[in-house]
Structure 1
Amino acid sequence: MKIDKESLKKIANLARLEIKPEEEAGILASMDSVLTWMEQLNEVNTNDVEPLTHILDEVNNWREDVGVNSMTREEALANAPSKNASYLMVPKVIE
């Protein structure tokens, strides 16, 4: 499939792209090679191929969603640059 300059301009307009005249030839060649490759893929017989949902046949190992305290509040606050007795203190971001 060939793309002409008018089609390129229409695609660029739909994609909200500004294409300079000196870039048109390179972009046309690139799009032409992509479409040629897609035509080659369309020639491949995929009638007996099942759709692929995952690359690997591994199954998720689900676990219960249980909250666990892995450290105390004091341990969590130990390396904080700014803190009070119970909380991390961060700079104000809303004016």
Structure 2
Amino acid sequence: MTAPISRDDVAHVARLARLTLTDEELDTFTGQLASILDHAADVEALDLDDVAPTSHPYPLENVVRPDEVRPCLDRDEVLAEAPSAEDGMFRVPPVLGEAP
């Protein structure tokens, strides 16, 4: 088992992540991170030689409905209800300073 994580280790990681933590936060996060690392060590200690790699514990299948042609809304009616429309499309405000 590795050495328990110290308050200084958490402070160092916080500095690397450019986080400013109070003394109270350092104490809280040290305990929480120690618990997480203990759990990770428990998982690492498991014998998984007979366990096949998987991306999900249950077999899953995509459930899709068949494509069926169905009536839809009339384009002109929908655009008539829009606050602003232009050339058969919705007109929206510029994003991130782009020209309209």
TM value normalised by structure 1: 0.67
| CA separation of 1:49 and 1:18: change in aligned 2, threshold 3 A | same
Superposition pairs of residues 51-70 of structure 1, within 5 angstroms: 51-60=53-62
How many pairs does the alignment contain?
91
Query: Among 90, 93, 97, which residue is 1:91 paired with?
Result: 93
The reply on whether 1:27 has 2:25 as its aligned counterpart is no
The reply on whether 1:36 has 2:44 as its aligned counterpart is no
Gaps of 5+ in 2: 65-71
The answer to whether the 8 A contact 2:11-2:26 is kept is: no
CA distance in 2, matches of 1:91, 1:71: 24
* Poorly superposed stretches of 4+, deviation over 6 Å: none
Structure 1 equivalent of residue 68 of structure 2: none
Gaps of 5+ in 1: 63-69
CA distance in 2, matches of 1:58, 1:17: 40
